[in-house]
Homo-oligomer: A and B are copies of this chain.
Amino acid sequence: MTIVLYDLAGAEEDRRFSPYCWRTRMALAHKGLPVETVAWRFTDKQAIAFSGQGRVPVIVDKGKTVFDSWSIAEYLEDAYPDRPSLFGGSDEKPLTRFYSCLADTLVGGIFRFIALDILNHLHDKDRTYFRKSREERVGATLESYVADRDARLTSLRDSLTPLRLTLKMQRYLGGDRPLYADYALFGPFQWARCISPFALLARDDPIALWRDRLLDSFGGLARSSPGYDGPSS
């Protein structure tokens, strides 16, 4: 039975850009589970009201509703134990939690670079909501929030040093194959790629090479989403 995923979309129906939904997309692909996605916009609160909250990802599987990317990963691991493990094994779930928290923090860091690009790719009906809610959150206009992003780039790249060192030594965080730890941290980079031409990573950065491998995995699932694959992004 196909799992339904409510998946954040931009102006175009196929521009799916949520860092959290991408974790779920990759996790579903890792498990080899068929999925039917439903394009969802920020203001479509009514469409997911059945989940009891207002954010995506939300999945519906065999009549069961699960929301929150981490909870969905746990659910998929428990519901489909015979499929490839998302965590590597039963003991690795706690070890993976930190990666999820780190990725959440990275979303905040990258937002300082792409906030305005997100706005520019949203469906018309989402723009007022997005600008208002995000400007309240960050205490600045989106324009001023990203204005010094060039000057901030070195600091962002420096903050990724531990990830870079690790990916110099192994192909994935999970070793020779990706695990949920990889998908969790891939999410923010795929979010940025879907929405912004800004080059967060140098082309020869081991993190960029790892991102490329994940873009190509599952038959190029993530790469097939509209996005920016410029020479230096």
Indicate if A105 sits at the interface (CB-CB under 8 A).
Answer: yes
- Determine how close the nearest CB of chain B comes to the CB of A49; give it in whole angstroms: 27
Determine the distance from Cα of A92 to Cα of B88 in the docked complex, in whole angstroms.
7
Determine the distance from Cα of A159 to Cα of B156 in the docked complex, in whole angstroms.
12
Interface segment among A55-63, A73-81, A141-149, A174-182: the answer is A174-182
The answer on a CB contact under 8 Å between B179 and A95 is yes
Question: Looking at chain A, what size class is its interface with the partner chain?
Answer: 20 to 34
Considering only residues 81-122 of chain A, those with a C-beta below 8 Å from chain B are: 88-89, 91-99, 101-102, 104-105
Q: 1/0 contact trace for A198-214 toward B, CB 8 Å?
A: 00000000000000000
Interface segment among A38-46, A126-134, A164-172, A221-229: the answer is A164-172
CB nearest to A95 among chain B residues: B95
Indicate if A163 sits at the interface (CB-CB under 8 A).
Answer: yes
What are the residues of chain B within 8 A of A159 when measuring CB–CB? 159
Determine the distance from Cα of A55 to Cα of B77 in the docked complex, in whole angstroms.
43
The answer on a CB contact under 8 Å between B172 and A101 is no
Indicate if A162 sits at the interface (CB-CB under 8 A).
Answer: yes
Select A101's contact among B105, B165, B181, beta carbons within 8 Å.
B165
Determine the distance from Cα of A97 to Cα of B163 in the docked complex, in whole angstroms.
10
The answer on a CB contact under 8 Å between A166 and B92 is no
Determine the distance from Cα of A181 to Cα of B102 in the docked complex, in whole angstroms.
15
What are the residues of chain B within 8 A of A93 when measuring CB–CB? 175
Indicate if A9 sits at the interface (CB-CB under 8 A).
Answer: no
The answer on a CB contact under 8 Å between B89 and A92 is yes
- Determine how close the nearest CB of chain B comes to the CB of A34; give it in whole angstroms: 26
Indicate if A173 sits at the interface (CB-CB under 8 A).
Answer: yes
- Determine how close the nearest CB of chain B comes to the CB of A179; give it in whole angstroms: 7
What are the residues of chain B within 8 A of A102 when measuring CB–CB? 162
The answer on a CB contact under 8 Å between A172 and B94 is yes
CB nearest to A92 among chain B residues: B92
5 cross-chain CB contacts under 8 A: A94-B172, A95-B181, A98-B163, A98-B181, A102-B162
